[in-house]
Amino acid sequence: MVEIKREWVNNLAPTDPDREIEPASVTTLNKVTGILSPNAIRWAVETAHEMTGYILEEMSDFGTGDGAFQTVRIGTESHLLTATLLLALDDPAVANVTPETVIADHDFVRRGIPLNTVLRGVQFGHAFVLRRFLEVCEKYVPPRDRANEMRQITELMLKFFDVFSDQVAREYLEERDRWVSTAAATRKEVVRAILEGEPIDLTTTENSLGYALGHTHLAFICESDRPASADPGELQRTALSLLERAHCRGHLIIPVGANTVWAWGTVTSTSTPEQIGSYPAPDEIRVGVGVPAPGVTGFVHSHKQAEHAIRLSHHRTRGDTAHRTDWLIDYATHGIAALMSLDLEMAHDFVRRELAGLAGGGPGNRDLRETLLAYLDEERSVNAVAKRLHVARNTVSYRVKKAESLLGRTVADRQLELHVALRLEQCIGSSDPDAPTHERESRGKAHRS
């Protein structure tokens, strides 16, 4: 029977009892189950979720999107569960780096995140954890015992944090030594040199990559919204399937950590990049696609366009999958939106100003915007829109007139601005500039509940 030294730890409870967050760190969860109370575990999971958001807001180096969030979360959650167990048992023997932290650590190596950045993130997390433990101590420990308990908690946690930081650094360096000796690391370094414009010997580079650079290239970036512990080959299989769907000849696929894959394919006269959109939507994967371009310069430019597209996906409204095929963002279609969203606050202001009463709202406004965007895409052909959306011609005409009444002007008035605003709204929504952060939070809640 495990002896609990601090019974008050098992009295911890989540601040929002109605909110269910699915734990991410299964191995550590199994370790603490049966020792910590279910409510104390829920408190730790909730607090770790908040801590992850805090770390990512303070340090953008760890990446953006749900995949980066989940990978950081498995490390923070397992760490906080372990710290809570240590606090309850007062037993330094439980204070070891967790398997989930090792997974995240290895992912940081593969993505080229420097060790000093990783350790700085660990320090942010440690400060957050200590603050929370002192807050709950003040709430659950009687006043006569509180000062002594706070002192003991601080000493216990600082020792744990020192050991934990040393273990993280050692694991990182060992993994980095393993990683740099692999062929995948070599190919990634060669690609990095090309993308950064460093001088290269074409023949040597092509031999290293097993890919010809003198042709026309189509670039993809695939990102997963799953944690680093998910299927490591899924993104690469998705990238290969998309290259084959586009009938690209010659494939180059470069894993960049556990959540991202860069890919290129050689475009020929028989290639059909437009067929990519008919690929079945992969679960929790987003794809940015560049525009085909020739030579080494085209290799770089198409990749940068895919980067703009995938960045745009981090802002996209993704709440209604029945009406949005938002897993695929091609630069050819969304290039203007990608460029305009570089200043997200100004982009939201532009959308709200141009769409007026057509911005925001529920499903009704969404259908009107979808129809109006198709109407402008199809050069105001009612027949083409009806065929594209599988609705009656009268429905198209009604929606266009309804949209004009909400706009307060005709479609022909400022048509270019209207078209751009509709395309931009499709990608970033029409809410306030903070919306993407909240949307990420709500998507994470929906996925984990």
Q: What is the predicted pLDDT for the residue at 142?
A: 92
Q: What is the predicted pLDDT for the residue at 2?
A: 75
Whether 2 is in a domain gets the answer: no
Domain harbouring 270, CATH code: 3.30.70
- Whether 49 and 129 share a structural domain: yes
Domains in the chain, number: 3
- Whether 166 and 209 share a structural domain: no
Domain harbouring 415, CATH code: 1.10.10
Q: What is the predicted pLDDT for the residue at 364?
A: 83
Q: Examine the fold and report which residue of 180, 202, 224 is the final residue of a domain before the chain moves on.
A: 180
- Whether 245 and 263 share a structural domain: yes
Whether 338 is in a domain gets the answer: no
Mapping DSSP onto H, E and C, the string for the chain reads CCCCCCHHHHHCCCCCCCCCCCCCCHHHHHHHECCECHHHHHHHHHHHHHHHHHHHHHCHHHCCHHHHHHHHHHHHHHHHHHHHHHHHHCCHHHCCCCHHHHHHHHHHHHCCCCHHHHHHHHHHHHHHHHHHHHHHHHHHCCHHHHHHHHHHHHHHHHHHHHHHHHHHHHHHHHHHHHHHCCHHHHHHHHHHHHHCCCCCCHHHHHHHHCCCCCCEEEEEEEEECCCCCCCCCHHHHHHHHHHHHCCCEEEEEEECCCCEEEEEEEECCCCCHHHHHHCCCCCCEEEEECCCEEHHHHHHHHHHHHHHHHHHHCCCCCCCCCCCCCCEEEHHHHHHHHHHCCCHHHHHHHHHHHHHHHCCCCHHHHHHHHHHHHHHHCCCCHHHHHHHHCCCHHHHHHHHHHHHHHHCCCCCCCHHHHHHHHHHHHHHCCCCCCHHHHHHHHHHHHHHC
Pair of tokens at residue 149: 């308990």
pTM over 0.85: no
| Structural domain boundaries, residue 236 | 183-332
Q: What is the predicted pLDDT for the residue at 445?
A: 36
Q: Examine the fold and report which residue of 303, 332, 361 is the final residue of a domain before the chain moves on.
A: 332
Amino acid at position 241, single letter: S
Q: Rg (Cα) of the chain, in Å, rounded?
A: 25
Mean pLDDT, each 10-residue run in order, the chain (449 residues)? 85 88 90 93 94 89 81 91 92 86 88 86 91 92 92 92 90 83 84 93 89 93 74 79 86 86 88 72 84 94 93 63 61 83 82 87 83 92 92 93 92 90 81 41 34
- Whether 232 and 142 share a structural domain: no
Q: What is the predicted pLDDT for the residue at 97?
A: 85
Give the Cα-Cα-Cα angle 239, 277, 253 (nearest 5 degrees). Answer: 15
Q: What is the predicted pLDDT for the residue at 339?
A: 82
- Whether 170 and 194 share a structural domain: no
Q: What is the predicted pLDDT for the residue at 176?
A: 83
Whether 118 is in a domain gets the answer: yes
Q: Examine the fold and report which residue of 283, 304, 332 is the final residue of a domain before the chain moves on.
A: 332
Whether 229 is in a domain gets the answer: yes
Q: What is the predicted pLDDT for the residue at 83?
A: 93
Contact indicator for 422, 376 with CB cutoff of 8 Å: yes
Q: What is the predicted pLDDT for the residue at 235?
A: 84
How far from each other are the two terminal CA atoms of the chain, in whole angstroms?
A: 33
Whether 263 is in a domain gets the answer: yes
- Whether 17 and 151 share a structural domain: yes
- Whether 43 and 155 share a structural domain: yes
Whether 154 is in a domain gets the answer: yes
Pair of tokens at residue 32: 């603490």
Sign of torsion, CA 246 252 255 261? negative
Whether 337 is in a domain gets the answer: no
- Whether 170 and 187 share a structural domain: no
Q: What is the predicted pLDDT for the residue at 446?
A: 31
- Whether 386 and 287 share a structural domain: no
Pair of tokens at residue 279: 């690929």
- Whether 35 and 94 share a structural domain: yes
For residue 264, the cross-strand partners are 219, 252
Neighbour tally for 315: CB within 10 Å: 22
- Whether 128 and 219 share a structural domain: no
Q: What is the predicted pLDDT for the residue at 449?
A: 31
Domain harbouring 102, CATH code: 1.10.490
Pair of tokens at residue 367: 């259908």
Whether 360 is in a domain gets the answer: yes
Q: Which of 117, 112, 101 is nearest to 180 (CA)?
A: 112
**pLDDT tens for residues 118-163?**
998 999 899 999 999 999 999 999 999 999 999 999 999 999 999 8
- Whether 240 and 170 share a structural domain: no
Phi then psi dihedrals of residue 219, to 5 deg: -105, 145
